[in-house]
């Protein structure tokens, strides 16, 4: 949807000049970013509950790197990682960054309606300093490190020992580093990243991935030395206020009181 607006109505010199028009494009972020679109809704609360459990697992409040992954593609990893990063960013005094480590099919920037810019791949290849690649994600103080330039050898780029150094540097600056990754079964990237992160969350989309695929992904991560903290289940029937009104808990309208 477009809306046209005059830049300077007072200035007759620009009248009729096409440059006086600005085009405002409606923000088109991914509709499943519950923390962004429906912060008071049931889904946002579920994500905060997960965040609170992760915070409880870290009583000393030490900086942590958290990988979000799943067995196969399209299970909701990127949406889950962004929602979780936003939930962490809601906490006071927490510096949080979302890192798009899916160098194969990056989508964090697209889901946040941001333009692709230098990011993780450029930092790992030493082309751009970290400080230049970090930028606001458009939600509170959440920062983003996008995937960056496309590379032909993502496994090599991510496998370099530079990633350990990068995680360390990110932890000096952020309390929570949430890392979106490619799926576990088709490539080694997620396993490698899990092994180097403090914790891993496995996203499972019911009725999409096969149970045996999720089990296999869990085994791969554990075999590589990853620390699986839990799973993030998408599309649980009967656990959604749309299908079960007992779970709805919308704020009361003023006139209802």
Taking the alpha carbons of 215, 220, 222, 223 in that order, is the dihedral positive or negative? positive
Task: Please choose, out of 55-63, 75-83, 155-163, 164-172, the segment that lies near ligand ADP by the rule CB under 6 A.
Answer: 75-83
Residues interacting with Mg ion, by CB under 5 A? 77-78, 107
Query: Cβ closer to ligand ADP: 76 or 148?
Result: 76
Distances, alpha carbon 172 to alpha carbons 11, 97, 120, in Å: 50, 12, 17
Query: Cβ closer to ligand ADP: 75 or 198?
Result: 75
Helix or strand holding residue 98 (H, E): strand 96-100
Nearest approach, Cβ of 203 to ligand ADP (angstroms)? 6
Residue 206 binds to ligand ADP (criterion: CB under 6 A): no
Interstrand relation of 135-136 and 64-70 (parallel, antiparallel or unpaired)? unpaired
- The single residue among 20, 29, 30, 216 that binds ligand ADP, judged by CB under 6 A, is 30
Question: 234 touches which of ligand ADP, Mg ion, none (CB within 5 to 8 A by kind)?
Answer: ligand ADP
Task: Please choose, out of 17-25, 66-74, 118-126, 241-249, the segment that lies near ligand ADP by the rule CB under 6 A.
Answer: 66-74
Q: Which residues contact 155 (CB under 8 A, 6 or more apart)?
A: 187, 188, 189, 192
Distances, alpha carbon 224 to alpha carbons 42, 62, 74, 188, in Å: 35, 23, 23, 10
Residue 78 binds to ligand ADP (criterion: CB under 6 A): yes
Residue 70 binds to ligand ADP (criterion: CB under 6 A): yes
Nearest approach, Cβ of 69 to ligand ADP (angstroms)? 8
Distances, alpha carbon 238 to alpha carbons 40, 222, 235, 241, in Å: 20, 31, 9, 8
Distances, alpha carbon 54 to alpha carbons 66, 88, 102, 140, 232, in Å: 10, 10, 23, 20, 12
Question: 86 touches which of ligand ADP, Mg ion, none (CB within 5 to 8 A by kind)?
Answer: none
Question: 75 touches which of ligand ADP, Mg ion, none (CB within 5 to 8 A by kind)?
Answer: ligand ADP
Strands (E), 116-189: 135-136, 143-145, 176-180
**Residue 62 DSSP one-character state:** -
Q: By rule CB under 6 A, what string of x and - marks binding of each residue 149-178 to ligand ADP?
A: ------------------------------
- The single residue among 14, 20, 29, 32 that binds ligand ADP, judged by CB under 6 A, is 32
Backbone φ and ψ of 105, nearest 5°: -135, 70
CA distance 97 to 135: 9
What residues between 233 and 252 interact with ligand ADP by CB under 6 A?
A: 234-235
Query: Cβ closer to ligand ADP: 128 or 142?
Result: 142
- The single residue among 107, 149, 188, 227 that binds ligand ADP, judged by CB under 6 A, is 107
Q: Which residues contact 159 (CB under 8 A, 6 or more apart)?
A: 188, 192
**Can you give the binding site for ligand ADP, defined by CB under 6 A?**
30, 32, 70, 73-79, 107, 234-235
């Amino acid at each position: 949807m477009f809306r046209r607006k005059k830049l300077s109505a007072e200035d007759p010199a620009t009248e009729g000049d096409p440059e006086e028009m600005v085009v405002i494009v409606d923000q088109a972020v991914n509709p499943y970013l519950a923390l962004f679109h429906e912060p008071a809704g049931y889904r946002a609360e579920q994500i905060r509950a997960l965040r609170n459990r992760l915070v409880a697992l870290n009583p000393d409040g030490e900086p942590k790197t958290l990988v979000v992954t799943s067995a196969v593609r399209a299970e909701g990893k990127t949406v889950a990682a962004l929602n979780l990063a936003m939930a962490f960013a809601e906490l006071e005094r927490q510096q949080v960054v979302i890192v798009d480590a899916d160098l194969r099919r990056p989508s964090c920037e697209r889901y946040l309606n941001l333009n692709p810019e230098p990011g993780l791949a450029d930092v790992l290849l030493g082309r751009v300093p970290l400080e230049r690649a970090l930028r606001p994600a458009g939600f509170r103080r959440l920062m983003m490190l996008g995937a960056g330039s496309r590379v032909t050898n993502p496994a090599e780029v991510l496998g370099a020992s530079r990633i350990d150094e990068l995680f360390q540097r990110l932890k000096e600056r952020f309390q929570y580093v949430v890392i979106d990754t490619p799926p576990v079964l088709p490539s080694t990237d997620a396993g490698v990243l899990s092994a180097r992160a403090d914790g891993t969350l496995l996203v499972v989309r019911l009725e999409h991935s096969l149970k045996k695929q999720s089990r296999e992904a869990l085994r791969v991560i554990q075999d590589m030395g990853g620390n699986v903290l839990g799973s993030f289940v998408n599309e649980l029937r009967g656990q959604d206020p749309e299908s079960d009104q007992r779970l709805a808990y919308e704020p009361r309208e003023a006139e209802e009181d």
